[in-house]
Chains A and B, each alone.
Chain A
């Protein structure tokens, strides 16, 4: 039966451990624990060796089984631990929270060893076996969830399980009696379960009886391989001596029951305990799902790959060689599987050295030992969040080799993608885990919210630098960052409005804009045309979000009110303005700002239209789209240059500021207004040549953040 199937036999394992008086008997395997005494000279009487009882042997081996199981399958493979004497004691339940060796150890301590003085007549492992069958009928949370999601086909959810019984049986007849009892109980319980919503009939049950007897005794029970006792129940009997034989038996069983396989990492360099500056090579054996060896099994390479140690038929391990990690740079390997591991000898020094090394965040590549040929890295050990995984790496030729170059495909020739901006965009749209079932006000899940955010952020997102003006302007950043938000605070609206005023100010001062010259001949649009393009683009951006809230709407209103007016309007206002003085001032201001603020920006060479003041700037080299972006001094300088004058006026109301800007803007632009009447602007362009202070085009003039 395939373990990977959600509800295979291994979904539920009931441990039934005999707690009757005879289990208190000694296993007769002696452990010398007074090791130091030997080296301490005469006069010291060493402590007599201690021996474990059958019970202690059974408990520690079952705990080891659970330890490996929980390491490799932290969820979905459940254990119910039952102890049986004059009655059954359930030490935990199928609940996921109960699945830990810590919990079980605490419960076992409260049970204590069997009481040798208890009346053997009323004690039996049968109580536990009956309880185990009953518990296999109980539905687990996973079965419950599966049944709930598959309402119409709920009967597809299977109920299977395994009972592992650790006992000391009297004879083969006794074993038969235990089997019959389980079989009958299943029949009874299945009848009960058929009529219940909270129980499920058992479709398949594997009974694994392990008879434990003391060392030196002859066994009274014979081994028997798996036999079908009924359509539901199969049974197998293992007769094992207590002590290390029992331990290796349960180790084999856990591998069989959960499709595990063994890998031995060889050549691990480790500092010697005594001599810190020498190091020796050690081996560590790990257990994991056997699919990590799939490639070896399929290619028939299992033996070639250095599998050794075949003492028990199943105990086969694949040897992989440690490759000392060079650096810890982040690399994405082509990995076809990752399987949790459990060290066989968890407390040994080599094991804990290896696991601590990995838990500290290092990864180790593993090499397949080959008799000849080049070395093949086939696996990698790596920990993620305190769990160690054996990654299977692809070591054969890739079908994706020699792919067509991206520059030859669609969009491959475009060179001015907003790469840095999109990098920033991705940073802002990174994901983070939220706790289960967290929904927002409109009932969206976390990932729906993530998608909604991406949608908002991309409502207006030009992909190339020459398609946009506003995203090349540092001055727009505060507004651009805020407007994509789902909701705005009063403060956000204020920031957006300030951004707009700032732009108005720039326009008044005739600051140059980073308008792209790509595709236009000559020097491109005039300054007021540039601002018109900029305002239009800004409106497009804000309009895309205007439906989000009333506050978004207010930002748009602010732009509409502040932006330079369409030509006809300006035409009308043209007459009767005493604007000369202010215009001059504005231009001077703008010029000053220019020289300080745009030190790196390029100018398209238009020798015929160069003014004296511009010469310093025109000497700058033209940027290519790929060249580093200008210093980020620009924006700060700009705002510093601009803001002090307004502040020096003392506290002004928003309304005054607003009106000031509007008047300033409308005045400034009258100069260019008439030109817009012509279709291609050309006639007007040359006329106003002298007045176009610093209006050459800037490309890629945006500052980095």
Chain B
């Protein structure tokens, strides 16, 4: 989940903080201190996170594009200059553009806004933006809610009392509200000092940047892993099932499925699964590894040398299905976990996940002895319309094509007896369902006319079949239940020419 740090560089950030001790701090110094702490945390514990830095006042500027290089971010932070007044709306537009250009509009992001709570005055101030919310024209909409899923964390270099003495707090709360309630406002407790800014950023880290550690189990085999980015809880159905579903820290493999069977499934999110060493206890599975006592290997080296289930799995992997809704795949040589939409049946072609069981329980191996078969995909009970030759006459040419098919076959009787009656019955069924009796009469007339136009060389059977078919259609068009039953089919007239017969030729 990429992060955009949106740093207020307006003049008000240079306000000094009254300090009992020696040094005099500006609010900006406190903000930089807090962000440094955040960057340091990410560099050690969350280093795969992409972060960018945007500074804003009345204008905004992308200081550092998305990067995992925290030194660059830190450097840019310490070289920040001071500008004029705060204008949040244009800065948020900037954030929206930057994120969409880089990640599109489906990738969830986190925005960390660092400000002193002085949100500008007059036009361009947040107060003004919020007041004019409802008077916007299409292309001048307020940037919130963002087109991508976003969490907004507002870090105020100010305490609650100060924010509440103006309408700053209300405005910020309204901002979170506009973001669909996704986010939080953090304020400083007690005097504005390094300690309180640390504690405030500490809370942000706890809230949004704690790594997700889990244990990946496969029966009795297990591995400690970090899942990155950390999986966020998902709301399934707000109305019936409003409790967010979170991923548990015990990831259990249920079994395995071929990659061709899972076939590019839709997923909510994808996560890297990285094996980790927990507290030097790397040796628990490493009973048979080298015990080179001469040099003391570092914990990391040790970890590298102990067999890890993740690496094994990765090495042999085709496909894994685990827990309820996750699966692993190997892509570009990394173990990846994808989350399915929560629910009993995330993939129609796999069926219900809870109904997947071991192949050894099946009467015979559903994959065949030589892996030539597969129990997947599951076939739905009813065929879709495009797979079952439905009749649609909404457009005139649909009807014309169907009539022509019958006439074409009529001219090739008795060779085409079978297809002739097949098409005739298809038309008959549809006409009966649509109450289109006039069509039945019309086609009957056409067939009678065809009968009269038969050349002398025609097989005698053709005339018999045509008049038989015409007569049957006419009977059906009367609505007489004996002849107009939907499931009744017109069968070829049994004739007996030259010993054979139309029936035999079919």
The smallest beta-carbon distance between A669 and chain B, in angstroms, is 25
Chain A residues, CB < 8 A from B308: 409-412, 414, 463
Residues A105 and B148 in contact, CB atoms below 8 Å apart = no
Chain B residues, CB < 8 A from A397: 102-104
Expressed in whole angstroms, the Cα–Cα distance for A31 and B438 within the complex equals: 11
Q: Is residue B385 within 8 Å, beta carbon to beta carbon, of the partner chain?
A: yes
Q: Top 4 nearest A-B pairs by Cβ distance?
A: A411-B308, A446-B357, A113-B435, A458-B219
Chain A residues, CB < 8 A from B438: 50-53
Give B contacts to A, CB under 8 Å: 1-2, 48, 50, 68, 100, 102-107, 147-148, 218-221, 223-224, 229, 237-241, 252-260, 262-267, 270-272, 274-277, 282, 285, 287-291, 301, 303-318, 320-321, 329, 331-336, 348-362, 366-367, 371, 375-380, 382-388, 390-396, 398-401, 403-404, 407-408, 429-430, 432-439, 442-443, 445-446, 449, 453, 479, 484-487
With beta carbons under 8 angstroms apart, the residue of B219, B356, B439 that contacts A50 is: B439
With beta carbons under 8 angstroms apart, the residue of A402, A417, A430 that contacts B359 is: A430
18 A-B pairs in the complex with CB atoms less than 8 angstroms apart: A56-B434, A59-B434, A99-B382, A113-B437, A156-B240, A332-B331, A340-B384, A384-B348, A391-B264, A408-B304, A411-B304, A417-B307, A419-B316, A423-B318, A429-B359, A431-B321, A432-B357, A447-B357
The number of inter-chain residue pairs (CB within 8 angstroms) is 443
Chain B residues, CB < 8 A from A518: 288, 290
The smallest beta-carbon distance between B437 and chain A, in angstroms, is 6
**Chain A: interface residue total (CB-CB under 8 A):** 147
Q: Is residue A196 within 8 Å, beta carbon to beta carbon, of the partner chain?
A: no
Which chain A residue shows the least CB distance to B435? A113
Q: Is residue A345 within 8 Å, beta carbon to beta carbon, of the partner chain?
A: yes
Q: Is residue A317 within 8 Å, beta carbon to beta carbon, of the partner chain?
A: no
Q: Is residue A396 within 8 Å, beta carbon to beta carbon, of the partner chain?
A: yes
Q: Is residue A522 within 8 Å, beta carbon to beta carbon, of the partner chain?
A: no
Chain A residues, CB < 8 A from B479: 112-113
Residues B392 and A64 in contact, CB atoms below 8 Å apart = yes
Chain A residues, CB < 8 A from B401: 347
The smallest beta-carbon distance between A19 and chain B, in angstroms, is 9
Expressed in whole angstroms, the Cα–Cα distance for A484 and B102 within the complex equals: 51
The smallest beta-carbon distance between B284 and chain A, in angstroms, is 12
Expressed in whole angstroms, the Cα–Cα distance for A237 and B390 within the complex equals: 30
Expressed in whole angstroms, the Cα–Cα distance for A453 and B256 within the complex equals: 12
Residues A386 and B254 in contact, CB atoms below 8 Å apart = no
Chain B residues, CB < 8 A from A276: none
With beta carbons under 8 angstroms apart, the residue of A36, A337, A394 that contacts B407 is: A36
Q: Please encode chain A, from 405 to 422, with 1 for each CB lying within 8 Å of some chain B CB and 0 for all others.
A: 110111111100111101
Q: Is residue A387 within 8 Å, beta carbon to beta carbon, of the partner chain?
A: yes
Q: Is residue A110 within 8 Å, beta carbon to beta carbon, of the partner chain?
A: yes
The smallest beta-carbon distance between B373 and chain A, in angstroms, is 10
Residues A432 and B366 in contact, CB atoms below 8 Å apart = yes
Expressed in whole angstroms, the Cα–Cα distance for A332 and B240 within the complex equals: 33
Q: Is residue A294 within 8 Å, beta carbon to beta carbon, of the partner chain?
A: yes
Q: Is residue A244 within 8 Å, beta carbon to beta carbon, of the partner chain?
A: yes
Q: A334-B270, A411-B303 are in contact. Are A519 and B291 (CB under 8 A)?
A: yes
The smallest beta-carbon distance between A374 and chain B, in angstroms, is 15
Q: A31-B400, A387-B348, A411-B275 are in contact. Are A450 and B357 (CB under 8 A)?
A: yes
Chain B residues, CB < 8 A from A336: 106, 266-267
Residues A409 and B275 in contact, CB atoms below 8 Å apart = yes
Residues A384 and B358 in contact, CB atoms below 8 Å apart = no
Q: Is residue A464 within 8 Å, beta carbon to beta carbon, of the partner chain?
A: yes
Q: Please encode chain A, from 339 to 372, with 1 for each CB lying within 8 Å of some chain B CB and 0 for all others.
A: 0101101111001100100010001000000000
Binds B, one of A67-75, A163-171, A590-598: A67-75
Residues A34 and B277 in contact, CB atoms below 8 Å apart = no
Chain B residues, CB < 8 A from A335: 264-267
Residues B356 and A411 in contact, CB atoms below 8 Å apart = no
Expressed in whole angstroms, the Cα–Cα distance for A438 and B100 within the complex equals: 48
Q: A385-B379, A461-B220 are in contact. Are A338 and B266 (CB under 8 A)?
A: yes
Q: Is residue A399 within 8 Å, beta carbon to beta carbon, of the partner chain?
A: yes
Chain B residues, CB < 8 A from A340: 384
List A residues 25-77 near B (Cβ within 8 Å). 31-36, 44-45, 47-48, 50-53, 55-56, 59-61, 63-64, 67-68, 70-71, 74
Residues B353 and A106 in contact, CB atoms below 8 Å apart = no
Residues B103 and A429 in contact, CB atoms below 8 Å apart = no
With beta carbons under 8 angstroms apart, the residue of B258, B321, B333 that contacts A406 is: B333
The smallest beta-carbon distance between B129 and chain A, in angstroms, is 20
Residues B303 and A409 in contact, CB atoms below 8 Å apart = yes
With beta carbons under 8 angstroms apart, the residue of A6, A331, A417, A468 that contacts B311 is: A417
Q: A32-B400, A408-B304, A419-B316 are in contact. Are A385 and B378 (CB under 8 A)?
A: yes
Residues B356 and A431 in contact, CB atoms below 8 Å apart = yes
With beta carbons under 8 angstroms apart, the residue of A35, A47, A394, A451 that contacts B445 is: A47
Which chain B residue shows the least CB distance to A421? B316
Residues A386 and B104 in contact, CB atoms below 8 Å apart = no
Expressed in whole angstroms, the Cα–Cα distance for A323 and B307 within the complex equals: 44
Q: Is residue A426 within 8 Å, beta carbon to beta carbon, of the partner chain?
A: yes
Which chain B residue shows the least CB distance to A426? B256
Q: A384-B263, A417-B311, A433-B350 are in contact. Are A112 and B435 (CB under 8 A)?
A: yes
With beta carbons under 8 angstroms apart, the residue of B221, B353, B390, B392 that contacts A461 is: B221
Chain B residues, CB < 8 A from A294: 105-106
Residues A347 and B288 in contact, CB atoms below 8 Å apart = no
Q: Is residue A455 within 8 Å, beta carbon to beta carbon, of the partner chain?
A: yes
Chain B residues, CB < 8 A from A158: 239-240
Residues B399 and A429 in contact, CB atoms below 8 Å apart = no
Residues A419 and B240 in contact, CB atoms below 8 Å apart = no
Chain B residues, CB < 8 A from A295: 104-106
Residues B252 and A451 in contact, CB atoms below 8 Å apart = yes
List A residues 87-133 near B (Cβ within 8 Å). 99-102, 104-106, 108-114
Expressed in whole angstroms, the Cα–Cα distance for A429 and B392 within the complex equals: 47
Residues B312 and A417 in contact, CB atoms below 8 Å apart = yes
With beta carbons under 8 angstroms apart, the residue of B254, B318, B486 that contacts A110 is: B486
With beta carbons under 8 angstroms apart, the residue of A70, A106, A404, A451 that contacts B385 is: A70
Residues B384 and A386 in contact, CB atoms below 8 Å apart = yes
Which chain B residue shows the least CB distance to A425? B316
Q: Is residue A682 within 8 Å, beta carbon to beta carbon, of the partner chain?
A: no
Residues B432 and A109 in contact, CB atoms below 8 Å apart = yes
Chain B residues, CB < 8 A from A464: 288-289, 307
Chain B residues, CB < 8 A from A434: 355-357, 361-362
Chain A residues, CB < 8 A from B335: 406
Residues B329 and A332 in contact, CB atoms below 8 Å apart = yes
- Of listed B305, B371, B392, B398, residue having the most chain A CB within 10 A: B392
Chain B residues, CB < 8 A from A409: 274-276, 303-304, 308, 310-311
Q: Is residue A578 within 8 Å, beta carbon to beta carbon, of the partner chain?
A: no
- Of listed A298, A399, A485, A516, residue having the most chain B CB within 10 A: A399
Q: Is residue A497 within 8 Å, beta carbon to beta carbon, of the partner chain?
A: no
Expressed in whole angstroms, the Cα–Cα distance for A391 and B398 within the complex equals: 29
The smallest beta-carbon distance between B435 and chain A, in angstroms, is 3
Which chain A residue shows the least CB distance to B366? A432
Residues A106 and B487 in contact, CB atoms below 8 Å apart = yes
With beta carbons under 8 angstroms apart, the residue of A67, A347, A410 that contacts B276 is: A410
List A residues 443-501 near B (Cβ within 8 Å). 445-447, 449-451, 453-459, 461-464, 466-468, 485
With beta carbons under 8 angstroms apart, the residue of B262, B382, B429 that contacts A74 is: B382
Q: A146-B240, A244-B394, A436-B355 are in contact. Are A453 and B360 (CB under 8 A)?
A: yes
List A residues 504-529 near B (Cβ within 8 Å). 516, 518-519
Expressed in whole angstroms, the Cα–Cα distance for A384 and B266 within the complex equals: 13
Chain B residues, CB < 8 A from A333: 264
Chain A residues, CB < 8 A from B439: 33, 50
Residues B272 and A298 in contact, CB atoms below 8 Å apart = no
Chain A residues, CB < 8 A from B258: 430
Residues A414 and B311 in contact, CB atoms below 8 Å apart = yes
- Of listed B277, B290, B355, residue having the most chain A CB within 10 A: B355
- Of listed A34, A71, A430, residue having the most chain B CB within 10 A: A430
Q: Is residue A380 within 8 Å, beta carbon to beta carbon, of the partner chain?
A: yes
Residues A431 and B386 in contact, CB atoms below 8 Å apart = no
